[in-house]
Amino acid sequence: MPSIARMTLFMMLAHVALGAIMPYLPVWLATTKGLSGAQIGVILASSSFGRILVGPLAAAWAEGRRDRRIPLIVFSTALAVGYLSFPFLGVFWPIALACFATGVMFQCLMPFAEAGVMRVTSQSRRWPYGRARAAASAAFVLANLGAGATIQAFGVEAVYAWFIIACLATVACGFWLHPEPIAEPVVTPLSTRLKDSFALFKRRTFFLAVLAASFIQAAHAFYYGFSSKLWLEQGFSGSQVGMLWAFGVIVEIAFFALLASRLNHFRPETLILWGGIASIIRWAAFAQTPDLGVTFLVQALHALTFAATHMGFMRLIEAEIPLAQRATGQQLGSAIIMSPTMGLASIAAGSLYDQFQSGGYWSGVILATIGLILISLLLSPKQPTLKLPQEDQIR
């Protein structure tokens, strides 16, 4: 099987795990471990703060490996081991520690997987990055639906099986990937690689755009942590909750598969701007606890709030950073800028849920507005349009 197919499959399996864990881990923790909204918020936030330290170290460490598969295998294995420990943990602090470790591993794994897909698809016209990313999103949808149906049929406790099976399948696929030896591996000391990596933040366009994207993505924190619980409390069934999550990702798939390749004449900053505008509309609407039909309609904005913002961020990296450093650029941008904003938003989300229930969605409106202001600073006529390279040689 070609390298593109294997790497795409790895990304899909990682998103099967994510598609079950993201919407249903908070519900599982509340039901099986008896945690409050505030405790869940702290747990979800802790990995984002941990990644501030672990992310740069992971990026610098990975640059010294002789095979690009190694980070994928190491982080996916650690993730599976972490989730296998969950049934044996009964009080808050061990649970929080396990969630912290698995969350950090997940957040370190995904940028390397994204960079791997970008790398193997960079010269392919039949299977470009957008289609591979759409396939991963489709896997996320299947997990949403399957995990939701599992909860409806067997109860919340049963969704844990999705966590384990998906994580173990991801590990197996990591070992199955074709070797990707680096012809001239980095031999400089780890401290020097860290210092060189942080120099990326001296680029004003990169720094401001990643900062703006981080606020718009952090506006999802309340949704990620508590939308499933709120919808269940509102009277929606487990299958309906799964369908709502799935529908949001279906429109995301449509964006990546059908529109992403047609948007090359738009600046990355413009895509992030669209995400910010849609985010304000989406979270303000969800704060009103609409009925099922309206909720589905508003959920379609996920194509912009997440997908357009994510594509803008990825295209910015493609335009600003040489191919050999893109994994580092994505890892650092996510760890140093995106993780703190998401972490703080997740902490606030738990308390907001306990006090205001669906009113907590207004926090997303505030965060998206900040992102919108920041990205507007890069959209003045004096700012040059970024030209994406047709190809980039590894040096």
pLDDT bracket for residue 187 (50, 70, 90): low
Torsion of CA 73, 76, 78, 79, to 10 degrees: 180
Question: Could you give phi then psi for residue 381, rounded to 5 degrees?
Answer: -60, -20
pTM of the complete model beyond 0.75: no
Non-local CB neighbours of 149 within 8 Å, separated by 6+ positions: 238, 239, 242
Average pLDDT in the chain = 85
Categorize the per-residue pLDDT at 165 as very low, low, confident or very high, splitting at 50, 70 and 90.
Answer: very high
CB within 8 Å of 92: residues ≥ 6 apart: 35, 39
Which band of pLDDT confidence, cut at 50, 70 and 90, is reported for residue 390? Answer: very low
Structure letter (DSSP) for residue 386? P
Dig out the tokens for 24 from the structure.
């249903």
In this prediction, residue 388 carries a pLDDT of 44
Residue 145: pLDDT band with limits 50, 70, 90:
confident
The pLDDT of residue 86 is above 90:
yes
- In CATH terms, the superfamily for domain 3-176+196-376 is MFS general substrate transporter like domains (1.20.1250.20)
